[in-house]
Structure 1
C-alpha cells in the first residue's frame, strides 16, 4: 500500500502551478522595467506616513460618492457597480497611471433590510484577481446572514490596468507600493462611505493573499472596531517575493541592471537585500494593533508554498487577541476549496463586534 502525504501533495501543487505560471515564458516576470526611479523614492516617503498611531491619521478620509448603476436584481438581492475618482492626493494621483485614476466597485446587498441591521465587508484583490466575480461568489452566500459584499477593483488590475502591463505582472517595484497605498486610501474611503452615508451597523475588511496584507493594513488604521480578515496572506510582501514561489517570478537581473545605471555593479544577493529593504515598508507588524483585535481572524494554509507558516504567526504575535485558523492545503488548493472556512471567518469576525448605535 502506498501512503500519500497530502500535505506534501498540496505543497508540490503550489510549486507545479508556480513553475507553470512563473518559470515559463508565457508572460514576463514581475518588475521587468526595474525599480521605478524617482517614483520609488516618493512612495517610500508616502508609505512611511502610514505608520504613526491611528490618532495621527487623516481621518475622516475623502468621502467618495460612487456613481451607481444596477447590474441585476432579484426579489431578495441587488448587484450594483459604482465608479468614483480615486481619493488619493495629488502626489499619489500623479504617480498612478491614467488608467487607474477612476476606481470601480461592485456592491451586492440583500433587499428590504435596513442598513443599520446589516453588515458589509469590503473585499480586496489578491494577486491576479482582475475581476469582481470570484469575490462576489465568496460573498454571495452571506446574503442570507444579512452581510453585504463590496468588491474593490485594485489599481493596475482589470479595467484599471496600464496598457503596457501584461496581466498581473507589474512593471516596476514602485508599482507594487503604489498599488498598495492607493488600495488602502480607496478602501478607507469606502468604509467611511459605508459608515456615514449608507449607515451600515457593522463593517469588515477582507482579502486573500496580497489582498489580505492590504486588508490587515486597513483594519489596523481604522479608528473604530471593524472585522479584519486576512486569508492566506503573509505579514509582509518581503515573504512573497523573497521567500515564497514568487521569487522565481521576479526579474532579478533587470533589477540589478537598473541599479547598475546609478551605482557600481551589485551581486544578485545584494539586489535581493535591496528588495527586502524596500518591501519591509509593507510589514504589517509595524502597523498599530486594530481597535478590536478579537475581531481579527487569519485563515492560513498548512502547506502553503507561497506563504510560510512563520509569517502568519509573526502577525498574530504582533496583534495579541487575534486568532489564526488553519485549513489543510496549499495556497492554490485552499484558494479553490476552502471558501466555506473563509465565509465562516467573516461571520465570526463580525459577530465579535457590537452593533453601531442608531442615531436618535
Structure 2
C-alpha cells in the first residue's frame, strides 16, 4: 500500500507550475530591463514616505469621483464598472506608464439594501490577475451576506499594462515598487470614497499573494477601522522574489549586467542582496498596527512553495491580536480550492467591526 503525502504533492505542484511559468522561454523573466535607473531612486524615496511616524499621515487622500456605467442588473444585484484618474502626485504620475494613468474598477453590490446597512470590500490583484472576473467570482456569493465587492485593476495589469510588457512580467524592479505605491494610493482613495461618499456601514480590504501585501498596507494606513484580509501573502516582497519560487523567474544576470555597466562588479549573490535591500521597503511589519487588530485575518497555506510559513508568522507577531488561519495545500492549489475559506475570513473580519454611526 502506497501512502501519499498530500502536503508534498501540493508543494511539488507549486514547483511544477513555477517551473512551467518561470523557467521556460514562454515569456521573459521578471525585470529583464534591469533596475529602472533614476525611477528606482525616486521610488525608494517616495516609498519611505509610506512608513508614517504618526498613524493616518497624509489623510484624507486625494478625492476621486469615479465615472460609472452599468454592465448588468437583476432584481437583487447590479454590476457597474468605473474609471477615475489615478490620484498619484505629479512625481508618481510621471513615473507611471501612460497606460496606467486611469484606474479601472468593477463594483458588484446588492440592490434594495441601504449602503449604511451593507459592508463593502476592496479586492486587490495578485501577481498575474489582469481582469475582474476571478475576484468577482470570489465576492459574488457574499452578496447574500449584504457584502458588496469592489475590484481594482492594478497599474501595469489588464488594460493598464504598458505596451512593451508581456503578461505579468514587469520590465524593471522600479515597476514593482511603482505598482505597489500606486495601488495603495488608489485603494486608500477608494475606501475613502466608499465610506464617505457611498456611505457603506463597514469596510474591508483583501487580496491574494501580492494583493494581500498591498491589502495589509492599505488596512494599516486607513485611519478608521477596516477588516484587513491578506490571503496567501508574505510579509514582504523580499520573500517572494528572493526566497520563493519567483526567484527562478527573475533576470538576475540582466540586473548584474546593468550594475557592471555602472562600473559596479558584483557576484550574483551580491545582486540578490541588493534586491533584498530594495524590496525591504515593502516590509509590512514596519507599518502601523491596524485600528482593530482582531479584524485582521491572514489565510495561509500549509505547503506553500511561494510563501514560507515563517513569513506569515512574522507579520502576525508584528500585529498582536491578528489571526492566522491555515488551509491544507500549496499556493496554486489553495488559490484554486479554498475560496470558501477566503470568504469565511471576509465575513468574520467584517463581523468584528462596529457599524459606522449614521450622520446626525
TM-score (norm 2): 0.99
2:235 matched residue in structure 1: 235
**Cα shift readout 1:78-122 (whole Å, capped 9, x = no counterpart):** 000000000000000000000000000000000010000000000
**1:266-318 residue CA offsets vs partner (Å, 9 max, x unmatched):** 10000000000000000000000001100000000000000000000000000
SS at match of 2:4: coil
| SS of aligned partner of 2:275 | helix
Q: Secondary structure at the residue paired with 2:314?
A: helix
Q: Deviations over 1:195-225 (max 9, x none)?
A: 1100000000000000000000000000011
Q: Is residue 213–residue 230 contact of structure 2 (8 Å, CA) maintained in 1?
A: yes
Moved over 3 A (4+): 53-56
Q: Deviations over 1:181-201 (max 9, x none)?
A: 000000000000001100000
Residue 56 of structure 1, CA deviation = 5.4
CA contact (8 A) 2:14 2:305 kept: yes
Distance (whole Å) between structure 2 residues aligned to residue 223 and residue 123 of structure 1: 19
Distance 2:346 2:120 in 1: 10
The C-alpha deviation readout for 1:117-168, integer Å capped at 9, x for no partner, is 0000000000000000000000000000000000000000000000000000
1:265-344 correspondence runs (5 A)? 265-344=265-344
Residue 55 of structure 1 deviates from its aligned partner by 3.5
CA contact (8 A) 1:54 1:222 kept: no
Give the Cα separation in 2 of the matches to 1:73 and 1:138.
Answer: 19
- The whole-number CA distance in structure 2 between the counterparts of 1:171 and 1:268 is 19
Deviation at 1:53, TM superposition (A): 3.4
Gap regions ≥5 residues in structure 1: none
Q: Alpha-carbon deviation of 1:63?
A: 1.2
Structure-2 separation of matches of 1:261 and 1:96: 25
- Describe the shift of the 1:211–1:146 C-alpha distance in structure 2 as closer, same or farther (beyond 3 A): same
| Residue 324 (structure 1) shift | 0.0
The TM-score normalised by the length of structure 1 is 0.99
- Kindly tell me the number of residue pairs found equivalent between the two proteins: 360
SS at match of 1:56: coil
Q: SS of the residue aligned with 1:273?
A: helix
Q: CA RMSD in A?
A: 0.6
